[in-house]
Amino acid sequence: MKEYLASAVRSISESIRFDSSRQKHSHTAPFGQGALDCLLHFLALAEDMGFVTHNYGGYIGDVEFGEGAEEFAVLCHLDVVPAGNGWTKDPFSGIVEDNKIWGRGAVDDKGPAICCLYALKALKDEGFVPSKKIKLIVGCNEETGWACIDHYKEVADLPETGFSPDANFPVIYAEKGILHVRLHFRMNKAPFLFLEGGSSNNMVCDYCEATPRTLTVTKARALGLDIVGKKIVAHGKSAHGSTPEKGENAILPVLKFFEDKSDVVRHAIACIFDDVYGLKTLQDETGNLTLSPNTVKYRKNDLQICCDIRYPATMTAEDVHVILRKFGVSYETIYHQKPLLSDKDNELITTLLGVYEECTGKKAEPIAIGGGTYARALKHGVAFGPEMEGDESVVHQKDEYISIDRVELLLNMYKKAIEQLTK
């Protein structure tokens, strides 16, 4: 696969240059022009390789390889979360430096998507004839709602079986349920005139600011807050909403500035950050529930906090709602995905484990994650890479990158995986 490495690196770099975070939509670009341009770039690459491609209204596209009656899916996405703050490199440059490709989407999920495309090209060039029709499906709305997958189901046939290269190795057998809720903490006279923070419901808030009615400089300094004019500003560290422990939430120090001035603010801190009702104690073999308050805004006597909740795979959303109702505040569900839970011994998982062990020389067991992938859109789906245990955490964070060594490994692993699952 070494002969494909330079081309794959170049294509990943090109793809990163499109800001495919969700933007203003149009009739031809339902998730914004950047996402559409990124999709067209990917499909043009595939066409140049000789594959049949389809663009389904700018929502999603696919690349076909093979003629078998049975179908197999490789599900990827080309959209990204907003760049966020604190980058030391241009997040949409795709610069190649220090043996790494830098930029938003390098790991999540443009790099792996393009590796899968070049894996198909390598198989095609070798004369491999799959027994199944392979569909490499690339969506443009994975990060903000999955309307791309809903659209695909309406206009095309989604295979029942496949994998998504959008999580971790060795192979994911379970994904927690995902629940995004907007909590409303009503207040008659807030101790602030303005409060807002966060850029995405599935990213740990790395910036929050507020305009206090009364600015106490010593308290602001004690909480590590910056003072900009009449505002207080908190800088945190972004992370994926499924792993809030890897980030530093900027909402908390801002709320703490006001906790001695408002019973409502104290209640919000107690419910969300102090977990007085024990929401985070829900657990099973797939892990504990995680709660990440990622966006906040104050509008018309209403402090609105959107929380990203990842609940254990053997539980239901109602198990979560039982505890949320104890908060005593109004809230609405703005997004929900049921968990994914697969049999660890099924053929899909054992085959992918074998590929992982062959390529890395490491014995491993399937794992569970809090992240959500397209795999749960399939009747029989799992996630497979690209991250390894011990990797620096860069997904949904500043200075995202993928190493060229990892690209080379992915080319080999995805080629072997697709070949073994479709021969």
User: Strand, coil or helix: what is 82?
Assistant: coil
Q: In whole angstroms, how far apart are CA 165 and each of 110, 128, 162, 306?
A: 10, 21, 10, 28
Q: Containing H/E element for 36?
A: helix 33-48
Per annotation, catalytic residue among 142, 209, 308, 387: 142
Instruction: Identify the CA nearest to 169 among candidates 381, 387, 400, 319.
Output: 387
Residue appearing with tokens 């927690």: 176
Answer yes or no: are the C-beta atoms of 142 and 109 closer than 8 Å. yes
Strand 287-288 to strand 177-186: parallel, antiparallel, or no bridges (unpaired)?
unpaired
Cβ atoms within 10 Å of 336's Cβ, excluding its own: 13
Cα-Cα-Cα-Cα dihedral sign, residues 264, 269, 274, 278: positive
Instruction: Identify the CA nearest to 335 among candidates 140, 181, 200.
Output: 181
Q: What is the C-alpha separation between 289 and 37, in angstroms, rounded?
A: 37
Q: In whole angstroms, how far apart are CA 265 and each of 275, 291, 306, 329?
A: 14, 18, 15, 12
User: Strand, coil or helix: what is 334?
Assistant: strand
142 in catalytic set: yes
Q: What is the C-alpha separation between 123 and 193, in angstroms, rounded?
A: 60
Per annotation, catalytic residue among 37, 62, 79, 206: 79
Q: Which residues are catalytic?
A: 79, 142
